[in-house]
Amino acid sequence: MIGFIRFILVFYGIAVKLTTGAYEVGDEHALRTAKKNEILKYMNLKADPCNDFFDFACGKWSQYQSTISVGKEDDLITVESQMEERINKDLQLLLNENINKHDTPSTRKVKHFYKSCEVAERFSTDFLLDFITRHGGIPSLSTTNWRANYDWVETIAKLRASYGMDILIGLEVNSNPHNAYGKSIFIGEPKETLIPVELCSAVGTELIDVKHDIYKDIEKAVFNDMKKWFSMGNNEANIFAGDVVRFEFELCKKMRLEQSLTSNKETEPEEEREREREVRGRTGKNRLNQNNRYAQQTPLISLPQLTQQYEGNINFKQFVDVSFDTAINDQVYLRSEQYFEHLIRTIKIFTKPTLANYIMYRALLVLNFPSDDDNLNTHRKHCVKLLQRYFPKVIGEMYNRRNQRMPVKNDVDNLYKDINTVFNEALNSDWITENSKRTIRQKVAKTKVKYPLYQNIDLSNLHIERLDYWRKLEEIIKFHAKEQQSPLYDTNLINEYDVEADDIAIKYIPNQDDILVSWGFLQTPLYHYVYGKSLKYSVLGQRLARELISAQDEQAWQLDTMSAMVWDSFTLNGFRNRSECFRQQYSNYLHNDPDEFQNALKLREIIADSDGLSLAFNTYLNWLSKMDPESRGPLMRETLPDLNYSNTQLFFINFAQARCAAAYVAEQPSEMFPFDQQTEERYDVNGPLSNFIEFSREFGCAAGTPMNPGEKCVVYDFKV
């Protein structure tokens, strides 16, 4: 049946014009013709799809991007980054409109702030000095009243309470059905750092030393900031910048340990392991349920007990109470135990002035325009980003109201429902025991699609009308920080996700059993209501499938604190054995060395991408098998007008083109050095496709060609 349907679609090759919702026949045909033209425009038809499908599908992508936006050298231009750029410009136009009678009070305040931001100076030394003086001072600036009895825990807690700043210690409030108040507090490492996330990790610091040019560039940025903001001398600014970067680099050595596949315990000195055993013995940490892997990593502990665990070097009770501006008697969940041991060691290595300089510089970065804000375009983009960060619901509602074209929620829900069904029915892998299959299916059954909610917007308590820009900004940040604290006292467990309007994402939310679909994703070129199922399943379907799969893996249990999901040892070993195939494949592709790649976080994405493609394609075939071959209307929509590719070939081409990427570089890598051409972005297309036998069949790739290797990596065996 499926083969017959494919034949019919290839034979006719054109779409029947239909009227769907608010779209007229001509509109749909025009949209589908535009999609066809877009696909052909980016393809390199001279490339061999069995040798390098990325080149075949995206070979001309870069030719059409350089005139759209200007980026820094080596910055990636992707489909999603271009969509974000487009949405940002749309928001600039919306925010620049004159205030009118249809604007809500909240919209008016947001527009007022944007207009003041547009004309604001890049910095205000008087404002910054006043801010520093009110929050502990900077040792390198003698006029800011820094004192030797400086309490760093109190300082970062006050900055979190007043401004929501995430410095040195991370603090989250998440829903918890086992808590009488519905919420729990989580303490761990900070999410935000000065050093980019990809470098600020145990993996990153091992690969690149602090003397690398990348860190010199970061030091230069800090140096320039201090000179620009405070007219600091060259020598002082150099010392300040060097200390700040080296301090954070040291912290990064024990951050994001979950990303590393290699055991950090193996590299720790024996005396450190012995010390940890002593700490666990003193504090009763060995009481944890050994059957729950995640309980070992995220224990529930009282704040006084947590302070005792680290020998009073960090007063966690003080930190939490000051952060929430009230006494907290609840227990907390501890994440990143090794990070806090390392934080204490790092603070002892560096001087207290260096610690104070670091904390306040991190705080100043939140207040100031970025260092690359050197023209009107970047300035306006930053103003929009500020509003998206602090008023996501207001901006999201403005954008959604203006750009809502058709109802798509039911379409997405139905797509996900089909994927969920196939996942449950096609869980045929022999490495999963029946008991583990039941466990997985129970979790899958609870996982639902959710969307950002733009409602309950009330800015009546925000008074910024008569203030200058910098005072406006401070009041806005304080207002947002207060809102962020409210979940601790809110017994309503219905989660309203704050998502920026240009967030082009579909992502699983731990502890909520939700897959969040941002409205920014649901637009061309990634999605349109009139597209056929072949296009919808290839991008939207694959992303939904990817998140559904990643929600079940070993890493997801660690993030999902409340989950009771536990695999038996047979299933766990099977998962890890199959994961190893992907790790070696990726390592060989990028490094020509099966042991070089050890990033657990990236490995998780690789597996979910590859198996998500298989799940989405099999769900699409399942949909096709249920269609009446005589239903020419819906079936003709599965191809595009005058495009000589079958519906299933189109599925793979569209999957690839959603991942096209190019860098702002003057010269492309030479063909004489093939490994210079094998990038992460190229693997993100070629990797999942080369692991999928259906792809090889569709494009007639002979066994042994690069896109049809003998060994294929698979975790889940999805078959319909």
pLDDT by residue (tens digit) across 364-385?
Answer: 999 999 888 878 889 999 999 9
In a shared domain, residues 391 and 516: no
Residue 290 — pLDDT band, cuts 50, 70, 90? Answer: very low
If asked whether residues 315 and 413 sit together in one domain, one would say no
Residue 705 within a domain? no
Does residue 341 share a domain with residue 221? yes
Calpha distance 191→189 (Å, rounded) = 7
**pLDDT value at 267 more than 70:** no
The 3-state DSSP class for residue 671 equals coil
Q: Is 334 exposed, middle or buried (0-12, 13-18, 19+ CB in 10 A)?
A: buried
Residue 242 has pLDDT above 90, yes or no: yes
- For residue 246, with 0-12 CB atoms within 10 Å meaning exposed, 13-18 middle and 19 or more buried, which class applies? middle
136/211 same-domain check? yes
Domain-located, residue 711? no
Strand partners, 51: none
Kindly report, residue by residue over 575-626, the tens digit of the pLDDT: 889 999 999 999 999 888 888 888 888 899 999 999 999 999 999 999 999 8
Tell me the two tokens of residue 190: 């900070």
| Co-location of 414 and 356 in the same domain | no
Does 712 score more than 80 pLDDT? yes
Does residue 719 belong to any structural domain of this protein?
A: no
For residue 422, pLDDT over 60 is answered with: yes
Model pLDDT for residues 141-181, shown as the tens digit of each residue: 988 889 989 999 999 999 999 999 999 999 988 765 455 45
Angle at the Cα of 121 from the Cα atoms of 119 and 245, rounded to 5 degrees = 135
| Banded pLDDT at 272 (limits 50, 70, 90) | very low
Domain co-membership, 266 together with 337: yes
Local structure of residue 301 (DSSP, 8 states) = E
Cβ atoms of residues 681 and 659 within 8 Å: yes
**Is a pLDDT exceeding 60 seen at residue 510?**
yes
Bridge partner residues of 514 (DSSP):
448, 509
| Residue 585 to residue 691: CA distance in whole angstroms | 10
Q: Could you tell me if 65 and 94 lie in one domain?
A: no
Q: Does residue 183 belong to any structural domain of this protein? A: yes
Greatest distance between any 2 Cα atoms in the chain: 83
Q: Could you tell me which of 633, 647, 638, 403 has the C-alpha nearest to residue 524?
A: 403
- The arithmetic mean of pLDDT across residues 507-520, rounded, is 85
Distances in Å between the Cα of 148 and the Cα atoms of 152, 157, 343 are 11, 18, 20
Shared-domain flag, residues 398 and 412: no
Residue 687 belongs to a domain with what CATH number? 3.40.390.10
Q: Share the mean pLDDT of the chain.
A: 83
Number of domains the chain is built from:
3
Higher-pLDDT residue of 296, 700: 700
Same domain, 549 and 572: yes
Identify whether 606 is part of a domain: yes
Pick the closest to residue 577 from 702, 429, 477, 372 (CA basis).
429
Say how far apart CA 701 and CA 686 lie, in whole Å.
13
CA atoms of 538 and 536, how far apart (whole Å):
6
DSSP 593-626: -TTT--BHHHHHHHHHHHHHHHHHHHHHHHHHHT
Q: Is residue 79 part of a domain?
A: no
pLDDT band at 485 (very low <50, low <70, confident <90, very high): confident
- Mark which of 466, 488, 510 sits at the end of a domain: 488
Helix axes 542-550, 600-625, angle to 10 degrees: 130
Give the DSSP per-residue string, 219-237. HHHHHHHHHHHH---HHHH
**Bridge-based pairing state of the strands 514-517 and 448-450:** parallel
Round to whole Å and give the CA distance between 244 and 692.
47
- Rounded to an integer, what distance in angstroms lies between the CA atom of residue 53 and that of residue 57? 6
**331: CATH:** 1.10.1380.10
254 found inside a domain? yes
Predicted local distance difference test score (pLDDT) of residue 206: 85
Beta strands in 163-304 (DSSP E): 170-175, 183-188, 300-301
pLDDT tens by residue, 666-682: 445 444 434 446 789 99
Same-domain status, 268 and 347: yes
Domain contains 707: no
- Are 83 and 504 a contacting pair, CB within 8 Å? yes
My answer on whether 482 and 434 are in the same domain is no
Provide mean pLDDT across the span 568-580. Answer: 89
Identify the domain containing residue 223 by its residue range.
125-367
* Domain match, 532 and 664 both: yes
pTM assigned to the model = 0.84
Share of the chain above pLDDT 90, in %: 50
